[in-house]
Amino acid sequence: MNAPEARAGKGTEATDEAEDPDDLDVEEALALVNDAFGRTPGDPARARARDPRRDGPRSAPDGRSPVTRPSHHDDRHALLSWTEARTVAERAARRGTGSRAAHRAPVPVPLDAALGLTLAAPLTALTDLPSFDTSAMDGWAVSGPGPWAVREEGVLAGHAEHPPLTDGEAVRIATGARVPPDTTAVLRSEHGHTDDNGRLHATPPRSATASRPPGASRAGSVSTVAHGQDIRPRGQECRSGEQLLSVGTLVTPAVLGLAAAAGYDTLSTLPRPRVEVLVLGDELLTGGLPHDGLIRDALGPMLPPWLRALGAEVTAVRRVRDDAQTLYRAITRSEADVVLTTGGTAAGPVDHVHPTLRRIGAELLVDGVEVRPGHPMLLARTKENQYLVGLPGNPLAAVSGLLTLAEPLLRTLAGRPAPEPYTMPLRDAVQGHPHDTRLVPVVLRGDAALPLHYNGPAMLRGVAAADALAVVPPGGTRPGQETELLDLPWASGGIGVCFT
């Protein structure tokens, strides 16, 4: 895709160097110092052999086998790769169905409420389109060769069928109007004229007019039109019973128009997955300036519209204090399809997500991902028809978790098709993590992507200016290296489309 030129005025500039060291978290920076001495970004040698502790038993990427966490203090337990984690999330939503989203019963939805949903049944024409022969242009419906005698009363769209025409007869007709029986063709307004006696003549083409001798009369120079000219015959677009769109089609404005034309008042669709957001942390403010160790909550305002862009219905955003019992009640009382938590996924003194999931008896599907930022993200099945996505508390790390786990889970539950992967060359080298994938904000300029500064785990300045996230493999990338990109919703669909 091409980035709009307006992006050039953004306040966050593309990097001229590989990375700003301040953008890396402590563990990542230490790993880079220990591993990258004497090597250049993009050198495969930088992607060191895995730590033996990382090569323990993995969960099979089928969404069914839980990942066990040996200890809260073992930060190098068996993580899934970024690709494996996304596969687990997608397959978890399909459990027991093979290809369709699990436990998602289709619902009939009025056309004006169906935008952004996916079809749960094929869209089959309920009528021929058009349902009768119609005029494709304003002009005259004519019968036989000209000149033609013109009826006084014209034919308008939406009116009952007009009496048949006789040979040599014409009648004024509007675009979309039903053509009278025995009509030969429609003569466009600009291709005909009437003489002093009110008789209609076909006007010759300009080429014929240019070659006509001076003083020659126009009348009678053209007397015929092609049979069926400018008539839309019944069933030209489709016949009744013909399949127009398949199951899984995203309902766009054009789909709504086609459905209405084909005779539908409602559509059978998959419902949006319901998501409840639990924002964890005693340190978060909902207004005003940070003070006395308190910081503003960035995720509460950011996540709901982003989740709607991913096809979800956000049922509630709740702020939960750092208390294990409070978190337990919030999760167990939720009736949402997906509970999404922010923070508390690591092993700190008030990180209660893992203990709460154990108390619930949840099935832990993903417990950490080889991605930076955001590696302590998780995915669990809390009950038969409910999932929990645990995002890290740092804002960009939360975005990473959202796109790694929540996006494939919600997309599959909503029945949306997976976006086609694509790559673009990165203009600048990007410093890689020794063994983890990195998600780096970029802007698109012509046929290249420019990495942005301010891409540390706690920062949103880079992604706020970005068009996409670059999926940087372990070891980093060289200037000009083709790299997979993840489009951000506002860049690919526009604000008005993707967030409603």
In tens, the pLDDT along 271-294 reads 999 999 999 988 888 899 989 998
Q: What number is the average pLDDT over the span 340-356?
A: 91
**Vertex 398, ends 439 and 382: CA angle to 5°?**
120
User: How far is the C-alpha of 71 from the C-alpha of 346, rounded, in Å?
Assistant: 11
Average pLDDT over residues 212-223: 50
Q: How confident is the model at residue 137 (pLDDT cuts 50, 70, 90)?
A: very high
> What six digits make up the tokens of 206?
């300009």
412 closest CA partner among 88, 183, 28, 43: 88
pLDDT given at position 297: 87
339 vs 217 pLDDT, higher one: 339
Q: Distance between CA atoms of 466 and 464, rounded to whole angstroms?
A: 6
**pLDDT for residue 464 is more than 80:** yes
Residue 179 corresponds to which tokens in the numbers above? Answer: 């053509």
Structure confidence at residue 367 as a pLDDT band (50, 70, 90)? very high
Picking from 426, 450, 444, the residue whose alpha carbon sits closest to that of residue 6 is 444
Q: Is the pLDDT of residue 75 over 70?
A: no
Q: Mean pLDDT throughout 233-254?
A: 94
- Which of 40-49, 196-205, 479-488 comes out lowest in average pLDDT? 40-49
**Where are the alpha helices (H) located in 111-263, listed in sequence order?**
206-211, 253-261
* Strands ordered across the beta sheet of 199-202: 185-188, 139-142, 169-173, 148-150, 199-202, 192-194
pTM of the complete model beyond 0.85: no
The pLDDT of residue 206: 60
Least confident of 125-129, 285-289, 409-413: 285-289
